[in-house]
Structure 1
């Protein structure tokens, strides 16, 4: 018993000592669960619904009456003149026959030369000696005189008389002159036989004049084409026909998150959609009874666009733009001429806008989007024949453009 008591006591003491050494630690915290941030990368499909409305344009057509011009009448060309007939050249005449030459004259018998007779004259020697120089006046017996007898002639005369002359001496010289005996005249020449005159030729025949030029006849001037604005009367006025429309359809797209952008995510993407849009535009002119007008109606709209923007956690704000396609039916009416017609074509234009998406869950997206769409003009015209060859041409004069606002719901594959 004593051993048992000692053992119990030792056990009690040891238990008390161990109990004093035990530390009371708090329980460990549960592990932190990792929640990944939302990523906009992924493919999505969905639908959209909203409305389209015009931009306030009347789209009134331009109507003109075209009056064709009258072609000019060409004039008659001129008739050239007929050349004249040349004349016959003249016949040359017969040349003259020369006459027979006459008998030459017989020369007469030469006369007897005159001999100096006695003639007194006075003069004053110009110089001493027989060869003195000077002149004197000679007076002949018949009373005639000769002035300025050369000194040589005076010297010869004085030498012949044998007189000696001194300087300044007055001299009188006696000269004997015997009159000349005339010779016997010759026999005059016998004239020749006159020539035969020439025979004149035949005169030239004058040319026959040609036919004169006939002047050209001027043509009738043409009348140019003309265009006139078409009106019905004083009550005529323009009208517009615009109708807004429901727009709805489906879309498919893909977004890709590139990286951080100022604490947000830069996201790019692409989307294609196809929607029913029954929007109409039109206009014309009317006077209460008659109408000339055009109406255009869009049957569907399809776009292929790019998107880019910022992902703000579960919000995505973006801008968008791309190519737009639409089928437009155009109808025409001209009641005054009982004319009507229609045609349709597919046009290509553009669409631009902006929008926002919100990720309700990782897979469910909702959003709102605005688009401005312009499908251009087709330069189409309707031509109505009128009287007298004129026509009425009616065409649209503005682009087919409109606005669209719709809500979107999409399912995202991640």
Structure 2
């Protein structure tokens, strides 16, 4: 039985600042589809989802949604500035008889509908946007990083709810387990085009590697053919000049084909400088108590972290994980107990809100500035594991 299309994109092309994002892109999402949308950072996943949602208009091409089909979109950074509370936003498109759906979603995603928007964190805003989408229950849900700022229990609730629903969805996520558990097919954005695999994310990497291997083999064959034809053009054309102009033109076409191929970007390698060797003991916390009003964060808590330890802090949102990190680093004083840091420590913190980044700086300036050393951010060089590199 043929499945009904929910949305169709055809011949979509889009350019930002002279840089082509998509070219002649097209695909169909049908009833029952549960798609992972994957691709390198910067490949255009969020932009494509906004085209699907009708928030970004393509330069060329068509977006078709059949009459009566509802499409809902959850973006990474929702704007709730026109609403007083998170609940006002989540309820804004629902009838009174459907308000209970927001209450169910609020309980599963753990956010307070009465929280004023002005005092809500970025994570709370995202959870409200997700609750709004889940409560509206559209036939096609477009989910851009839905698990960001969710704790383990909330992710589990969302995964179960999506699995049990009858909705179709397209999801972007860096949560590999989430994608593997939920998706049945994969859309892969690669160099401005979209490929589709009729299997979920769990099969994606093997498919991608096979695709790249076949592509490399074809490129190798093309290079060998060009090399052979170029040798013939140099050695044999003078005797058969008139008869073989077609072969010369064919060589030019082969070279044009190779030039038109878009090379894959290499995979980014991540490495950390070992820094100066620290002592064996990194952190020693003894008998910590910490509370905010009636909320008890720590009670007689002790912890020893040794060099080379890898420690995960898990727990529901609001339980105090970030506060514990701040306490262990000496940024937050405990009500009782002591924290002792080891010798020769070099501490780096990647915080949720990226508070150390000045939003008024360009990426270049942010990379090369150092407030602790009064460096202005106008340098061309940065130090990478002890070696100067150009900022680009």
State TM-score, norm by structure 2. Answer: 0.14
Higher helix share: 2
Higher strand share: 1
Higher relative contact order (CA 8 A, sep 6+): 1
State TM-score, norm by structure 1. Answer: 0.13
The structure that has the greater radius of gyration is: 1
